[in-house]
Chains A and B, each alone.
Chain A
């Protein structure tokens, strides 16, 4: 394996089309170890498609994805054991308790010493008191917290988040970002999509703006303030109707 400056996530020429509809057209990006990338863009820009392909839920039409040096095409299963994903759906089973859900995923991810780890992640998200309640009886915000716990169970090197604030209240959102920063893994690389420019800017090291399946622009997170980002966002994501005036 190469030295530490080899990027954890590397995407080359990634494309995805659904029939005649080109959702992603040639995406290139790199995320270094321990860095966080924010992906902004309007609805339909391809953000969710990008996350799904990185999570290996979808296969790309063209292009290559490498994570930790492994190719997604050849070693998908090995890669999946190192990825945690938080989506706007929780991936939790309503009939089972939080504990049973986390136990299930522990078995799926071969988490060692899972009893301990489950209690640990539950307290990380501040939900240890509700661990033995059925997921279906919890509020949306609480469910999403357990979803985050689920994502972090196996101490993933790579975390993907697809608009994770959906359904969360302000406190939970704040907790989410604190959690990602502090869960003791400096080597963790994160890619997230968000509609909230401000939060996203604060949380990221680098950012890209997607529009119509292509990268409209990319910047380092330090290079902009929120006003600058807003202007950049508006400029990059003009639709055809708007430019026609």
Chain B
């Protein structure tokens, strides 16, 4: 399909460009690691207490790291005004959105995989389970969907590093609430049916905001 084809080309271009310098990935990974360590300093307690706090710490780390990597997404397009270069190509604005969204998703997933590993080591919990991975993926789709839209918006404002978090965090709060609660249930060995409603909220978020961002993106980039 034509649309998908060019969308993947854009995503691939982003990934290729990033792997040349590995700027985003390395700085965000270091940041994420720091956040985890600082949480460790901030909260120290028995294993039971740490287990109770673990989901919250994990998802706050994901959210902060996510914002950082999303910030970079459109900054690159700003240099040499490459975004205009994309807009002049025979593709729809929506295809540009999807391409950027896919590459952001890719980066966020890689970072989160690393965070999960480190988290498991630091906090002595096993978080690399299938339900956890699926949950993370589902939530990250939501992050990337709305984050890409807001990143395109933020890059056009004066204080872009501040604007993205201010927009991003209130909007993804349902995802964070749901993900933390679902993770908590998972770590305590609950079954899928108990987590169904939480997963449902995240899935609803993904569908609504993927669609909304897809439709609205054109208004951000085109004057």
Contact = CB atoms under 8 A, between A and B. Distances in A.
Interface stretch (B49-57, B74-82, B132-140): B74-82
A108 B86 CA distance: 9
A104 B13 contact: yes
Interface stretch (A38-46, A52-60, A237-245): A52-60
B87 A56 contact: yes
A206 B81 CA distance: 30
Interface residues of A, number: 31
- Mostly helix, strand, loop or mixed at chain A's interface? loop
Interface residues of B, number: 24
A114 interface: no
Contacts of A87: 81, 84
Given A80-B89, A81-B90, A107 B82 contact: no
A95 B17 contact: yes
Nearest to B9: A107
Contacts of B160: none
B13 A93 contact: yes
A109 interface: yes
Given A59-B222, A108-B6, A92 B90 contact: no
18 contacts: A52-B84, A57-B87, A80-B88, A80-B90, A81-B90, A91-B85, A92-B80, A93-B13, A93-B76, A95-B17, A95-B18, A96-B20, A104-B9, A105-B85, A107-B6, A108-B6, A109-B89, A134-B20
Interface of B: 6, 9, 13, 16-18, 20-21, 76, 79-82, 84-92, 222-223
Closest 8 CB pairs of A and B: A91-B85, A81-B90, A89-B81, A108-B89, A95-B20, A80-B90, A95-B17, A107-B9
